[in-house]
């Protein structure tokens, strides 16, 4: 059985491992750009009432009406927890994205086509099945450069595109995702208390960098907000991983200050800044 990957124009076999026929070898990208004006996501804008929050009218590329993302399930099944992982660490040449929703996901061809509309190429795709479900993994590069994605706004657009398509083709996931309130047919029945859900830790990873771990209630624009808060205090975000797991968002960033790991006082500044803005996402500029 074969399918056509719309985003790369290559014919792939549906099996445990799907690999595109061409793979570009590019130099390693070791840090996030701090440019928050990407053309590819120009419709992602800051709300007039919030310093950091995205407008819920964000335009997300949709999948075509003629193609359907296959996957079957019974209505009596327990709805699994959807997971979307954006990994900037495991591959030096590409951004790795993993999508899991029990065993309900198909080949996600429409999602890959929607990513192409963001100016991206899917250069490799893997499908793995284990006890936790079917894991669909994509290696993504920018079509214009052939390099991994290093723009926080584009990474957030990737995340919202995947979640939007998941909600479109699997509306039963809406009540399991924080994004279901913004983009889905059914909002989650319970909401996380941001004060309780928010956990921030910073570890010494090496003499050159620290590892920042953030867990908080998910919302649109959160990835960009986190990177902006950190870079606004002149701390560099070198790489990391951003996980969306149901109502929670979990981020791990490798951070540094002038090429060195963060000293304790600066760790406290980063922690306080993140905690303040995450607990008060609607704080207005005039309140400072």
Distance CA 101, CA 77 (A): 12
- Cα dihedral sign for 204, 205, 210, 212? negative
Distance CA 87, CA 92 (A): 10
Write out the chain's pLDDT in tens, 288 residues: 333 333 333 333 333 333 333 333 333 334 465 554 444 333 433 333 333 333 333 434 444 333 344 444 444 468 888 999 999 999 999 999 999 988 788 768 888 899 999 999 999 989 888 887 788 999 999 999 999 999 999 999 999 999 999 988 889 889 999 888 877 888 888 888 888 889 999 999 999 999 999 999 999 999 999 999 999 999 999 999 999 999 999 999 999 999 999 999 999 999 999 999 988 655 444 444
Q: What tens digit of pLDDT does each residue of 160-205 get?
A: 999 999 988 889 889 999 888 877 888 888 888 888 889 999 999 9
Enter the tokens of residue 199: 């956990």
**How far are the Cα atoms of 70, 79, 137, 267, 269 from residue 253, in angstroms, in the given order?**
34, 30, 20, 13, 16
Enter the tokens of residue 137: 């993994």
DSSP string of 23-81, one letter each residue: ----PPP-S-------GGGTT--B-TT-SSPBPTT---PPPPSS--------TTSPPPP
The pTM (predicted TM-score) of the whole model is: 0.73
Confidence at residue 32, expressed as pLDDT on a 0 to 100 scale: 60
β-pairing, 120-130 vs 133-142, is antiparallel
3-state secondary structure 203-215: EEEECCEEEEEEE
Distance CA 190, CA 108 (A): 29
Closest among 104, 50, 113, 44 to 80, alpha carbons compared:
104
Closest among 258, 58, 77, 236 to 163, alpha carbons compared:
58
């Amino acid at each position: 059985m074969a399918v056509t990957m719309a985003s790369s124009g290559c014919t792939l076999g549906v099996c445990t491992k799907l690999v595109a026929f061409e793979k570009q070898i590019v130099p390693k990208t070791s840090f996030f750009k701090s440019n928050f004006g990407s053309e590819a996501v120009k419709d992602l804008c800051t709300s007039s009432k919030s310093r950091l929050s995205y407008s819920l009218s964000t335009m997300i590329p949709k999948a075509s009406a003629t193609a359907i993302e296959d996957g079957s399930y019974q209505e009596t099944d327990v709805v699994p927890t959807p997971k979307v992982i954006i990994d900037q660490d495991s591959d030096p040449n590409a951004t790795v994205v993993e999508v899991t929703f029990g065993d309900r996901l198909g080949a996600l061809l429409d999602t890959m086509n929607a990513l192409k509309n963001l100016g991206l190429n899917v250069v490799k795709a893997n499908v793995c099945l284990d006890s936790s479900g079917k894991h669909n993994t994509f290696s993504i590069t920018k079509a214009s450069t052939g390099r991994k994605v290093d723009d926080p706004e584009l990474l957030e657009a990737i995340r919202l595109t995947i979640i939007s398509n998941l909600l479109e083709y699997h509306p039963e996931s809406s009540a399991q995702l924080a994004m279901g309130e913004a983009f889905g047919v059914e909002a989650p029945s319970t909401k996380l208390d941001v004060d309780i859900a928010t956990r921030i830790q910073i570890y010494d990873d090496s003499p050159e960098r620290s590892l920042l771990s953030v867990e908080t209630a998910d919302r649109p624009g959160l990835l960009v907000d986190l990177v902006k808060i950190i870079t606004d205090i002149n701390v560099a975000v070198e790489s990391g991983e951003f996980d969306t797991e149901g109502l929670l968002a979990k981020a791990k960033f490798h951070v540094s200050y002038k090429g060195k790991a963060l000293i304790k006082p600066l760790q406290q500044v980063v922690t306080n800044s993140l905690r303040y803005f995450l607990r008060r996402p609607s704080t207005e500029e005039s309140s400072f």
